[in-house]
Amino acid sequence: MKNKLNLDLPKNIKIPAIFLLLLLFGSTLICLGSRNDAVTVAKSIKSGVLTADEINVAFQNVGGKVIKRFVQESQFVKKGDPLMQLEDIDTKLSVDRLQALVDSQTAAVNQEQAAIEITENEINLNELSTWRKIEEVKANLEAAKSARDLANTEFQRHTQLRKTGGTSQSQLDAARNVYISTKMQVVQIESQLSTLMIGATQDQINQFEQTRNATGMTLQSITIDRQKLQNRQNQLAQIKAQLVQAQADLKQLQVNYDRLTLVAPEDGKVLKLMFEDGEMAPTGAPAVLLETDRKYVDIYVNEKMVNDYQPGTKVKANVIALDKTVKGTVRFATAAPSFADLRMTRERGQADLTSYQVRIYMESIPQLLTGMTIEVDQ
């Protein structure tokens, strides 16, 4: 029994010794290797997965039945390439109807403009004719007054002769009738002249009495005609406004007609088509998911390094899958969410550091695909 205990004792010592040696060896490797604290990680890891901006392409202000899809998933397209087509029958009929309305209103505007021009010329001609008519009536009035005065003189002479028997009663009556007739003629012509000159100012009348020239005289009849013409001008303005509105509606309808064909807003790859042929596409609903050529990578750095990544800074990065170096431009650097903060090891006696998200847009090179790992050199 004693000999057996002597043989087992070295084994009991040997096993703990082996574990002790393994513990010492592992501790040595940990001390010599990376400590995975915030400073070490932030300095050693500046890589991320390449991501591309994605955009939802939708039919703008139009909807309808999809009649054709021009592309398939994973297909590369250029800016302006057609993606999807909606049925255009109703919109085309609306365009035709509105075009007919625009043509009709255009003809109405042209007709009213021509009528206004003719009316304006007629008013100007009527005004000139009335001025000449006033001058003519004034001359007739002067002649009628002369005839009245002569008839009055003749009547007075026959009256005196009748008293002395130098003329017969019939001759006196005839002279009286002539006088009365010429007197009434003067009254009629004066009334006609007054009617023609309605609207003229007293100064204009006085000037006319002196010069016998009626040019420039304000006439109420002409003023009323010009007011009517102005009212037609207002009507023309209304028709023109309606025409402009119809033209704007037509232009909007033509724009909507063009929008029935959905086109790629920029170069990229089709990721997903939301509608099949024959399906109804609602207005404003996303129809195509497009992956653009704008590719970026997000890296995280600590606050001591963020100043090296200000917006606009040029950097170089390595594409591991392609073993190529690409250039990039920093778009922004912003504080990362709290879960991304890197914690310091307490045994080093330093505080925690805040992480910052840095987004870098990379230049486009052949075979550079989303999902590839990018390592930033700077």
Task: For the chain, give the mean pLDDT.
Answer: 86
pTM greater than 0.75? no
Question: Residue 249 carries which side chain, given as an amino acid letter?
Answer: D
Q: What is the pLDDT of residue 378?
A: 63
Selected from 1.10.540, 1.20.1440, 1.10.287, 3.30.70, the CATH number assigned to the domain covering 92-254 reads 1.10.287
CA distances (Å), 288 to each of 31, 62, 265, in order? 54, 15, 11
CATH of domain 36-86+266-376: 2.40.50.100
Rounded to whole angstroms, the Cα distance separating 368 from 362 reads 10
338 has pLDDT over 80: no
Q: What average pLDDT score do residues 109-118 get?
A: 95
- The whole-number average pLDDT for the span 207-230 is 93
Residue 353 pLDDT? 61
> Where on the phi/psi map is residue 70: left (φ > 0), alpha (ψ -120 to 50), or beta?
alpha
pLDDT at 51: 92
Separation of alpha carbons 73 and 235, rounded Å: 57
- Range name among 18-22, 132-136, 229-233, 349-353 with the lowest pLDDT average: 349-353
Q: Does residue 41 have a pLDDT over 90?
A: no
Flag whether pLDDT at 30 surpasses 90: no
Average pLDDT on 203-225 reads 93
Residue extents of the structural domains in the chain: 36-86+266-376, 92-254
pLDDT of residue 5: 42
The span from the CA of 291 to the CA of 54, in Å, is 4
Question: What is the pLDDT at residue 45?
Answer: 62
DSSP string across 21-75: HHHHHHHHHHHHS----HHHHHHH--EEE-EEEEEEEE-SS--EEEEEE---TT-
Question: What would the mean pLDDT of 197-217 be, rounded to a whole number?
Answer: 92
More confident position, 12 or 122: 122
pLDDT over 80 (residue 139): yes
Question: Residue range 130-147: average pLDDT?
Answer: 94
Distance CA 130, CA 226 (A): 15
Query: Which one has a higher pLDDT value, 164 or 245?
Result: 245
Burial grade of 200 (CB within 10 A; 0-12, 13-18, 19 or more): buried
- Segment 66-95 shows an average pLDDT of 94
Residues 6+ apart with CB under 8 A from 54: 271, 289, 290, 291, 292
Distance CA 277, CA 299 (A): 42
Average pLDDT over residues 315-336: 90
CB 188 within 8 A of CB 141: no
Write out the two tokens for 62: 């139009």
Q: What is the mean pLDDT of residues 19-42?
A: 62
Q: 136: which residues sit within 8 A by CB, 6+ positions away?
A: none
Return all residues near 14 (Cβ < 8 A) that are at least 6 apart: none
What's the pLDDT at 10?
64
